[in-house]
Amino acid sequence: MSLLLLAFLDAERPVSGPAVPTYARNVAHILNRSCVPCHRPGESGPFSLTSYQEAKKWSSMIALTTKKRSMPPWSAVAGHGDFVGARVLTAAEIGVLDAWHKAGAKPGNLATAPPSPKFTQGWQLGEPDMVLTMPEDVDIPAEGQDQLRNIVIPSGLLEDKTVGALEFRPGNAKVVHHALVFLDNSQAARKLDAADPGVGYLSFGGPGFMPSGSLGGWAPGGTTKWLPDGVGRYFQKGSDVVLQVHYHPTGKPEKDQSKIGIYFSRKPVTQLVGGISVENWQIDIPAGDADYLRTASYTLPKDLTVLSVTPHMHLLGKEMRARAILPDGTRRPLVWVKPWNFRWQETYVLREPMKLPAGTRLELESWHDNSAKNPTNPFNPPQRVTYGEGSNDEMSLCILEVTTNRIEDLLYTINDNGQQNRVLERILSLAKRKKE
Ligand code: HEC
C-alpha cells in the first residue's frame, strides 16, 4: 500500500486515535446472527448475548471460544460439503471479536446498534397436524455423564401418512443437546422401555432396536424446514414414535418434558426418504492408540439422491470423513468432521441434494483417540475398547438420508462386506408394502 493511501486511511479515523471496533458498529451483528439463536432467554446457551452489557461481561470468553472455534458449535470442516444452517464465523469476524475484546469491549453509539433479532414464538411452521408430548417429566440428575434417553410415545396414527416436516420443542432447552426421532412398528422400543426403571430407557449409540423409519433430527438453534416438494418420510399407521434425547447435566437437578409437532406432506409424494449406513463393525482399539483408523465403503446399486449425512462415533471419536467417488472417478466430499465432538452431534443437511449414479462408491474414514490425552476418554488409564452401542464401546458409522424416484430401486442392496444394509432394508420393506 502506498504511503499516500495509508495517510488517507488515517485521515478517516476519529481524531481520538486509531479506529477501535465497537459493539454497535462491528460486533452486535455478528453476535445476533451467530450466537443469539442459542444465547437468549429460554434457549440452550448458558447466558444471553442479547445486549451490550451481557456481551461486554463475556467479551474475553467470546474472543477465546471463537478463536478456538469451539463456539459457535459446528464440527464440519469448511469446503467439504455445503450445509443448511452452517454455524461458522469467518476469520475476519473472529479477528473483529478478538480486537474488540482487546480494546476494552467498547459500546460505540448504542443507539445505532442493530437490535436483537425477533424470533417466531411457538411452532415455527404454524400449528402441526399432530403433536406428541412426552407422557411424563424426565429427571436429569445434577451431575454425571451425558445420557441418551429414549422416550416411547404411541402415535395413535390410524392411516399411513407421509411427513413433510418435523419440529422438536425442548421442554427445558438448558439440558437438551440434540434429539433424533425414530419410528417403531415392532413394539421393540416398548419392551426396552418396560425393562428400564426410569422414564423411557437409556441407550448410547442407536436406539437399541432396528427402527422402522425416522422422522429426522433436531439440534439447538436449528431451523425447522419442509422437505422438498414431492419428498416425504413414510409414517406407518400404529407406529410408535421414539424420541431419543441427548441430555446434558447442568449442575442442578433438572426436568424436561419435550414435544414434537408433525406436519404431513402438503403435496403428493413421489419420493420416500430412506437411510443408508456406511459402517465398520470391526473395531478393536488398543489402549493408548491416539490415531486409530477405520475405513468402510458401500457401492450404490441404483441412482440415489443424498439429502443429509449424520456421522456417529462415541467418546473416543476424533475425526470422520465421508466422500462419494463417482463411476467416472470424480470425488465429491460429503462431510468432514474435525474435531469430532460427542456433545454436538449433527445431522448435516446438504444445501443442494446430491444426485449420485449407480456404481458410486461411498467411502468412510474415521479416527479414534484412545490415549490418556483425550479428555473424554471414559477410562483412566486407557483400556482396550471394542465395537458396541454402550457408552464405553465405540462405533464408526455414517448414516445418509437418501431418496429415489423409484421406490423399488431401494430394494435388495447388499453392503460391500456382504452385510445387509440393515436400516435401508427395513425402510425398503415398508416402502414395498406401501406400494402393494
Ligand atoms: C447452537 C447453539 C449455540 C450457538 C449458536 C452458540 N452457542 Fe455458545 N454455548 C451453547 C451451549 C449449549 C453452551 C454450554 C456449553 C456446551 O454445552 O457446550 C455454550 C457455551 C458458551 C460459552 C461458555 C464457555 C463454554 O465453552 O462452555 C461461551 C463463551 C459461548 N458459548 C460463546 C458463544 C459465542 C460467542 C457464540 C457465537 C459466536 C456462541 N456461543 C454460539 C450454545 C450455543
Residue 316 Cβ contacting ligand 1 at under 6 Å = no
Give 323-352 pLDDT, tens digit per residue.
999 999 999 999 999 999 988 888 899 999
**Residue 322 contacts residue 334 (beta carbons within 8 Å):** yes
Q: Do residues 287 and 165 both lie within one domain?
A: no
Instruction: Compute, in angstroms, the gap from residue 65 CA to the centroid of ligand 1.
Output: 8
Count the domains in the chain. 3
Nearest CA owner, ligand 1 atom 13: 45
Is the pLDDT reported for residue 373 higher than 50? yes
What percentage of the chain reaches a pLDDT higher than 70? 88
Confidence at residue 390, expressed as pLDDT on a 0 to 100 scale: 75
Confidence at residue 284, expressed as pLDDT on a 0 to 100 scale: 97
Residue 161 Cβ contacting ligand 1 at under 6 Å = no
Residue 249 Cβ contacting ligand 1 at under 6 Å = no
The answer to the question of residue 7 being in a domain is no
Residue 75 Cβ contacting ligand 1 at under 6 Å = no
Of 163, 161, 140, nearest in space to 260 by CA:
163
What percentage of the chain reaches a pLDDT higher than 90? 59
Give 297-310 pLDDT, tens digit per residue.
998 888 889 999 99
Average pLDDT over residues 380-408: 85
User: Which of 31, 54, 65 maximizes ligand 1 atoms within 8 Å of its Cβ, making it the mutation to test the pocket?
Assistant: 65
DSSP 17: S
The answer to the question of residue 5 being in a domain is no
Band (pLDDT 50/70/90 cuts) for residue 18 is: low
Nearest CA owner, ligand 1 atom 10: 45
Confidence at residue 207, expressed as pLDDT on a 0 to 100 scale: 84
Average pLDDT over residues 125-143: 95
Band (pLDDT 50/70/90 cuts) for residue 384 is: very high
Instruction: Compute, in angstroms, the gap from residue 34 CA to the centroid of ligand 1.
Output: 10
| Average model confidence (pLDDT) across the chain | 86
Average pLDDT over residues 76-85: 92
Confidence at residue 222, expressed as pLDDT on a 0 to 100 scale: 66
Residue 182 Cβ contacting ligand 1 at under 6 Å = no
Residue 170 Cβ contacting ligand 1 at under 6 Å = no
What distance in Å separates the CA atoms of residue 425 and residue 101, rounded to the nearest whole number? 54
Average pLDDT over residues 176-199: 91
The answer to the question of residue 210 being in a domain is yes
Q: Do residues 303 and 393 both lie within one domain?
A: yes
Residue 155 Cβ contacting ligand 1 at under 6 Å = no
Q: Do residues 371 and 245 both lie within one domain?
A: no
Q: Do residues 312 and 278 both lie within one domain?
A: yes
Confidence at residue 399, expressed as pLDDT on a 0 to 100 scale: 87
Q: Do residues 199 and 134 both lie within one domain?
A: yes
Of 187, 172, 179, nearest in space to 244 by CA:
179
Instruction: Compute, in angstroms, the gap from residue 73 CA to the centroid of ligand 1.
Output: 7
The answer to the question of residue 9 being in a domain is no
Band (pLDDT 50/70/90 cuts) for residue 113 is: very high
What 3 state SS string does 351-396 have?
Answer: EEEEEECCCCEEEEEEEECCCCCCCCCCCCCCCCEEECCCCCCECC
Band (pLDDT 50/70/90 cuts) for residue 292 is: very high
Instruction: Compute, in angstroms, the gap from residue 90 CA to the centroid of ligand 1.
Output: 17
Give 396-433 pLDDT, tens digit per residue.
999 898 887 665 554 333 333 333 444 444 444 444 44
- Boundary residue ending a domain (79, 112, 145): 112
Q: Do residues 104 and 164 both lie within one domain?
A: no
- Boundary residue ending a domain (264, 279, 314): 264
Q: Do residues 242 and 300 both lie within one domain?
A: no
Average pLDDT over residues 4-26: 62
Instruction: Compute, in angstroms, the gap from residue 334 CA to the centroid of ligand 1.
Output: 26
What distance in Å separates the CA atoms of residue 62 and residue 79, rounded to the nearest whole number? 25
Q: Do residues 47 and 82 both lie within one domain?
A: yes
Residue 66 Cβ contacting ligand 1 at under 6 Å = yes
Residue 45 Cβ contacting ligand 1 at under 6 Å = yes
Q: Do residues 251 and 390 both lie within one domain?
A: no
The answer to the question of residue 26 being in a domain is yes
Q: Do residues 397 and 323 both lie within one domain?
A: yes
Is the pLDDT reported for residue 61 higher than 70? yes
Q: Do residues 102 and 134 both lie within one domain?
A: no
Residue 87 Cβ contacting ligand 1 at under 6 Å = yes
Q: Between the CA of residue 256 and those of 134, 140, 366, what are the distances in Å? A: 9, 8, 34
Residue for grid cell 437399541: 208
Q: Do residues 79 and 163 both lie within one domain?
A: no
- Which set of grid coordinates corresponds to residue 289? 492408540
Instruction: Compute, in angstroms, the gap from residue 276 CA to the centroid of ligand 1.
Output: 32
User: Which of 32, 34, 35, 70 maximizes ligand 1 atoms within 8 Å of its Cβ, making it the mutation to test the pocket?
Assistant: 35
Residue 88 Cβ contacting ligand 1 at under 6 Å = no
Distance of CA 380 to the CA centre of its chain: 29
Instruction: Compute, in angstroms, the gap from residue 66 CA to the centroid of ligand 1.
Output: 9
Q: Which atom of ligand 1 is nearest to the CA of 65?
A: 29
* CATH at residue 179: 2.60.120.310
Amino acid at 90: T
Is the pLDDT reported for residue 224 higher than 90? no
What distance in Å separates the CA atoms of residue 196 and residue 187, rounded to the nearest whole number? 15
User: Which of 23, 26, 38 maximizes ligand 1 atoms within 8 Å of its Cβ, making it the mutation to test the pocket?
Assistant: 38
- Boundary residue ending a domain (244, 264, 284): 264
Is the pLDDT reported for residue 434 higher than 50? no
The answer to the question of residue 117 being in a domain is no
Average pLDDT over residues 228-250: 90
Residue 36 Cβ contacting ligand 1 at under 6 Å = no
Average pLDDT over residues 113-117: 93
Band (pLDDT 50/70/90 cuts) for residue 255 is: very high
The answer to the question of residue 119 being in a domain is no
Q: Residues with Cβ < 8 Å from 132, sequence gap 6 or more?
A: 153, 155, 241, 259, 260, 262
Residue 71 Cβ contacting ligand 1 at under 6 Å = yes
Confidence at residue 406, expressed as pLDDT on a 0 to 100 scale: 62
Q: Which atom of ligand 1 is nearest to the CA of 87?
A: 5
Is the pLDDT reported for residue 208 higher than 60? yes
Is the pLDDT reported for residue 11 higher than 50? no
Confidence at residue 171, expressed as pLDDT on a 0 to 100 scale: 94
Confidence at residue 360, expressed as pLDDT on a 0 to 100 scale: 95
The answer to the question of residue 122 being in a domain is no
Parent domain of 137:
130-264
